[in-house]
Structures are given as structure tokens and as C-alpha cells.
Structure 1
């Protein structure tokens, strides 16, 4: 009888212990932390400020390492000759560039005002073992851009100088790719380095001047036409056509739209 009681107690403790271990294992599996990452990022391109551009983007993770980004950039009306960074670039490119007159490829940058905006849609593909929008990435993007510009052309006629105000309105579509790297610091701060990007597309627009040119002689009108053709010359291809009349200047622009991009953005992940 005593042996039966001992056997029963032994079996009871074995079964109880096994059940406890099973419960503990199930609990540990349920409480195992899943890899977490923040799926939303809001960023500002700080290097764009050097060109008087304000660029913002919102990035949303679609999967563990793929995201979609929507971006918006705006450049308020700006005199190109007042952007110091561009002045330094033009000085390196054109040896005849004079900081006082700021004339580049026949265009007086002190007389050129530009206002622009752009919308960008981008898909990013991140590498690395860690989940989330971090690590090296490759992206494909599309861009729509709108450019408005004003230029005061100083034309030297036979009767003296004539200031001719001109305006242009252009719209562009392009697609491209880029690659870079993004870091997340302290789980909240994002630093996005776009190493290099390139896009290519088409640009269309109009050029208009309503200046009354009836006072110019036929020879002066031809000289003005020649000056415009020289300013708008792009090698052996014609992308811009213009016409001079008594009512002013009209023109159309249709050609390729290409560009490069690079920069550093800083943002917050949430």
C-alpha cells in the first residue's frame, strides 16, 4: 500500500511539472518581442536651403524594407544672381563670368527671376538585416515641375537701349533613379543622404513679351531676333523658337528635361 501511494505521488508531480513547463514555454513564445520599427518619417532637405529651395517629404513603409515617399519642393521668386552658391559654380564653369555683371552664357543673372515648385513620388528599396527605413537604398521616382521666370532683356537699338521684359512658363515631367543611405538615431531622428540621383523627361512652355516694339526699325527687329536666337541656342538642335513683331515677342519651348540630385535631409520617425 505504501509503495502504491509513493508511485501515485511521483506520477502526480511528474505530470504537474510537465504541465508547468509546457505552460511556461507557451507563455514565453507569446511574450517573445517582435521586431518593431517606425513606419512614418517626415523630413526636410537642409542642403536645398543653399539654393533658396524649401523641400519636404513624407515617407511611409509599405513592407519591412520597401517604402513610398511623397515630396514637395518650392522656390519662391528669386533673383538667380543673388544665390551665392550658383555664383561660385558659374565662376568655375565660365572664365568670362564677372561677379559684378553676373553674365553667364549671354544671360544677365541679375535680371533673371525664377519661381518654381515640384512634386515627387518615389519608391525606395532598402538593404540590410535591420527592419525599417534604414540602410543603403535604391529608388525609382517620378517628378512633375513647374517653372515661372521673368527676364529683363537690355537691347541696344539704333536709337538707344530698350529694356524688354520677358516671361516664361514651363512645365516638366521626368522619371529617374537614385541611391543613398539613411540612418535612424535614437529611434526618432532620421538622417537621409542622397548620394546621387538622375532624371530625364520632357519640358514644354511659352515665352512672352508684350512690350510695344513698333518703334524699332526693321533692322533693329532683326538684330533683336538674332540676339534671341543666340541666347536660346543649344548647339545643333533647336528647342526654343521665338518671333519678334510690333506687338512684342512670342516663343515656344519644347525639349528634354534632365537633372541630377543630391542632398541631406533631416527628419523625425514616428
Structure 2
């Protein structure tokens, strides 16, 4: 008969952890904490909540006559999952070992950028101004496969290796300016392409889409979840 090593997790049913993934992808201003609770020998539930920021655009040349500069960007995320640890595969009880389960994740981003007009000599045109701002809401539902290592009965290393999902990407993009910008102007196309290239999280929302000077957008798209977390079991 297969016997489990109960000493791996002993009576430690809880894990608090830090999600490294947003920081690795988008910088040190991203901060996400999580909590996992064992609800049976081979089941657990977890919740992650955190603050997110977009990476800086920097001085991004949108067109020959326009440069975007960062003004403000912020966001937050909430993610929850149910985990079923493989009974015949793992040597110990949850939350140690290989697991699978459904997840749901919500992301909210707000961003604002000043757009500076440049003349033919490269000098700023002070009489003209524009500001590009927007918000993005993303909700994804999917199934994940992961492995959690419990090291020395206290240190948890959690890897969500595969997490295919499907979700809705929606939000609002707007340009305020004292210069007329037509919806078909190359400036808007350049902004869209630059956002997709700089912010991969917007890929499903804006890739191949047209944006307007003042409009909402929304689309359904597939996605993947990949997470690296470290924590403490107690």
C-alpha cells in the first residue's frame, strides 16, 4: 500500500507567499501577496491580491512629430484558484506536490501619458498639447497545472507551469488635445502598436484593433497564466 509522508507538511495548513512574476516582468513597483489554505488532505484554495504598474514608456517616438512621456500609471489584480493535489503522484499531503485546478483572475490598469508635439528641428511645440489616457479591465477564467515544493517543512516554492484560459479584455482609450486628430490618423495606429509592443498584457485587447480618439473597446481572447511564488508554511 502507498504511504504518505505526513512530516512534509505536518499540521501546517497555511501558506503566505509573495508572487515574483509581476516584478520579474514589469519591475519593482509591482507587489502581489497570496494566501493558500488546505481544506482537506488533497485540496486547497488560494487568493492573490496586489498592486500593479505598467512599465515606463519613457520618451517613446509615436510619430515624426509626436513623443509620448509617462505621467501616471497604476493598477491592481485579484486571482483565486481551487487546487486538487494528485493523490497517487505526491509523496505528501496538500499543499505539497503536483496539483491542478480552475482559476479566475481580474486585472485593472489605469494609465495616462502626455503627448508632446515636435517641430521639424526637434524642438517641442509649446502651443500644442495632447494627453493620452485609458483604462483596461481583464477577467480570465482557466485551468492550471502546477507544482509546489515544501522545503525544510517551511519554505514553499510554487510554480504554476501551465494555465490556459479565456477571458474578456475591455476598457477605454481617450486622447484630449487642442489639435485635431482624426480617428484614422497614423498617430492612433502608432499608439496602438506601441502599447501592444510595450505591454504584453494588452495583446489580446488591442492587437489588430482600431482605436479612436474617444471610445470604448472590448474583445474576447485566449491567454496563459504562468506564476512563480515563494512563501512560508505554518
SS of residue matched to 2:40: coil
What count of residue pairs does the alignment treat as equivalent?
203
Of 115-124 and 101-110, deviating more is: 101-110
Please, which runs of 5 or more residues in structure 2 have no aligned partner? 1-5, 194-205
**Counterpart selection for 2:143 from 170, 173, 177:** 177
- Does the CA contact (< 8 Å) of 2:63 and 2:190 recur in 1? no
**By percentage of residues, which structure has more helix?**
1
Residue in 2 that maps onto 1:264: 228
The list of structure 1 runs, each at least 4 consecutive aligned residues, that deviate by more than 6 angstroms after superposition, is: 104-109
Q: Which residue of 2 aligns with 1:148?
A: 110
Structure showing greater relative contact order (alpha-carbon pairs closer than 8 Å, 6 or more residues apart): 2
* Counterpart selection for 1:116 from 53, 57, 75: 75
RMSD between aligned residues: 3.3
Note closer, same or farther for the CA distance 1:109–1:153 as it changes in structure 2 (3 Å cut).
closer
116-125 or 189-198: bigger deviation: 189-198
Per-residue CA deviation, residues 135-183 of structure 1 (Å, 9 max, x unaligned), is 111121001111111133345689x854411110221211122222111
Runs (5+) with no aligned partner, structure 1: 1-33, 83-100, 243-248
Describe the shift of the 1:267–1:168 C-alpha distance in structure 2 as closer, same or farther (beyond 3 A).
Answer: same
1:258 and 1:80, CA in 2 relative to 1: closer, same or farther beyond 3 A? farther
Q: Secondary structure at the match of 1:130?
A: coil
Change (3 A) 1:125 1:42: same
Q: Does 1:40 align with 2:40?
A: no
Distance 2:172 2:226 in 1: 29
CA distance in 1, matches of 2:22, 2:152: 25
CA distance in structure 2 between the partners assigned to 1:258 and 1:113 by the alignment: 28
Distance 2:95 2:226 in 1: 18
- The residue aligned with 2:49 is 72
- Higher gyration radius (CA): 1
Which residue in the other structure is 1:28 paired with? none
* Aligned-pair CA distance for 1:72: 0.9
Aligned to 2:85: 126
Q: TM-score, normalised to structure 2's length? A: 0.71
When residues 199 and 58 of structure 1 are mapped into structure 2, their CA distance, relative to the original with a 3 A threshold, is same
Instruction: Give 1:119 shift.
Output: 0.5
TM-score, normalised relative to structure 1: 0.63
Matches for 1:91-106 after TM superposition, within 5 Å: none
**Any idea what the Cα deviations from partners look like across 1:9-64, whole Å, max 9, x if unmatched?**
xxxxxxxxxxxxxxxxxxxxxxxxx8743211111013432223211111011111
